[in-house]
Structure formats: structure tokens, C-alpha cells
Amino acid sequence: MLLDLSEEHKEHLAFLPQVDSAVVAEFGRIAVEFLRRGSNPKIYEGAARKLNVSSDTIQHGVEGLTYLLTESSKLMISELDFQDSVFVLGFPEELNRLLLQLYLDNRKEIRTILNELTPRLPSYHSLEWRLDVQLASRSLRQQIKPAVTLKLHLDQNGDHSTHLLQTDPATLLHLVQQLEQALEEMKTSHCRRVVRSIK
């Protein structure tokens, strides 16, 4: 699958062959940093002064590179497809190799970042548990009532929530049994077949 690059995008990237490889590598580093932390326009100004071009040109160059990397990572295109997509830009061989290296080096991390944009439900973070035995209450003395207290930690979009829950020994065993069945399900032939056929 080849990347479809718009004219505007190609224009922005046209800046890259005009600077040497070290600068392009630096742009690549900035691009990934911006994906991690958000963009910082001051960087553009510094670079613009050093290279003696407008900060807009720098910005477009970096953004063009960012888009190239994120699109390639999102689609998980092969090395060959990436090379062919970049080939149409008519860049020198050395630059193409540099861009491919940037893609391969950063692909995994970019995909992890993109993963955080998916529709999210609260997700499991961790579980703490405690064993208690109730000995008495205001309404009944001399009890022996075992209970398991659970603290469930969930994450949602960076917000952490905790749920304090309790359960009895019988239900605990039931929970373990049910969830073990859930895990086993992935190993069944049906699921294996589905996983094999969707590629």
C-alpha cells in the first residue's frame, strides 16, 4: 500500500533536501518529541535563525515529516511500500535511506502514542486485596464471617479511579473460575482460526 501524499504535503517536504542529513535527523527527532509532548513553536524560531529561512518553512518541514511518519506508522506499511512512496518525491538516495531509518526506528513508539487516541473505556490498572474476618457487629456478636476486600484501580484517559469492593469466599472462587475460562477462550481452535485468517 502506497502513501497518498497531497501536493501541499509534497511542497512542505521539499525543504528537506535543501539541508544536510544531520538537520533532517534533528527534524525527525523534533517530530517524534512533538508527538510525545506536544509542539513547541519556539524550536521553530531557533532553527529558522540558524538555517537562515523563515520559521514557517521550518514548521512545514517538521509537520510534513511528522505526517509522513504517523501515516506510515498508522497503516504499518512495509519497508518497500515506504520506499516507493517516498521515491515519488524525487529526493536523493541518501535522504530516502534516512527517512526509511527514521520510520523504522520510531514506528513502534508512534503506534503506541496513536493507540492512546482510540475510544477508551476505563481500563484495568491493578488490584489489591485483603482478607478480613468479621467478628461482631452491633446487631450480632460472636461471628466468624470471612470476607475479601478488594481495591480495584482503573485508568481512563489519564484519570485514575479506585473502587473499594468486598466479596465472600464462594463468589471469589466463582470469579476466578469465570475469568480463567475467559483466558482459556483465546486458546480454543475457533479463536486461533480467526486470528490466523485476519491478517
Partner 1 sequence: MELSEYVQRGFQTLADPGSFDSNAFALLLRAAFQSLLDARADEAALDHPGLKHIDPVVLKHCHAAAATYILEAGKHRVDKSTLSTYLEDCKFDQDRIEIFCTEYQNNKNSLETLLGSIGRALPHVTDVSWRLEYQIKTNQLHKMYRPGYLVTLNVENSDSQSHPEIIFSCSMEQLQDLVGKLKDASKSLERATQL
Residues in the site for partner 1, rule: CB under 8 A?
74-76, 111, 114-115, 117-124, 126-129, 131, 137-143, 145-150, 152, 154, 163-169, 171-176, 178-180, 182-183, 185-186, 191, 194-195, 198-199
Smallest distance from the beta carbon of 117 to partner 1, in angstroms? 4
Smallest distance from the beta carbon of 44 to partner 1, in angstroms? 25
Smallest distance from the beta carbon of 10 to partner 1, in angstroms? 23
CB of 3 or CB of 53, closer to partner 1: 3
Nearest to 128 by CA among 162, 103, 90, 87: 162
The H or E element that residue 86 is part of is helix 79-87
* Nearest-angstrom CA–CA distance, 191 and 60: 46
Nearest to 135 by CA among 145, 127, 125: 145
Tell the burial category of 97 from Cβ atoms under 10 Å away from its Cβ (0-12, 13-18, 19+).
Answer: middle
CB of 105 or CB of 168, closer to partner 1: 168
* Nearest-angstrom CA–CA distance, 64 and 28: 10
Smallest distance from the beta carbon of 115 to partner 1, in angstroms? 6
CB of 45 or CB of 128, closer to partner 1: 128
CB of 6 or CB of 123, closer to partner 1: 123
CB of 88 or CB of 114, closer to partner 1: 114
Smallest distance from the beta carbon of 3 to partner 1, in angstroms? 13
The H or E element that residue 148 is part of is strand 145-156
Give the DSSP letter of residue 187.
Answer: T
Smallest distance from the beta carbon of 65 to partner 1, in angstroms? 19
Going by C-beta distance under 8 Å and a sequence separation of 6 or more, which residues neighbour residue 142? 135, 136
CB of 22 or CB of 198, closer to partner 1: 198
Q: Which three cell numbers stand for residue 79?
A: 519497508
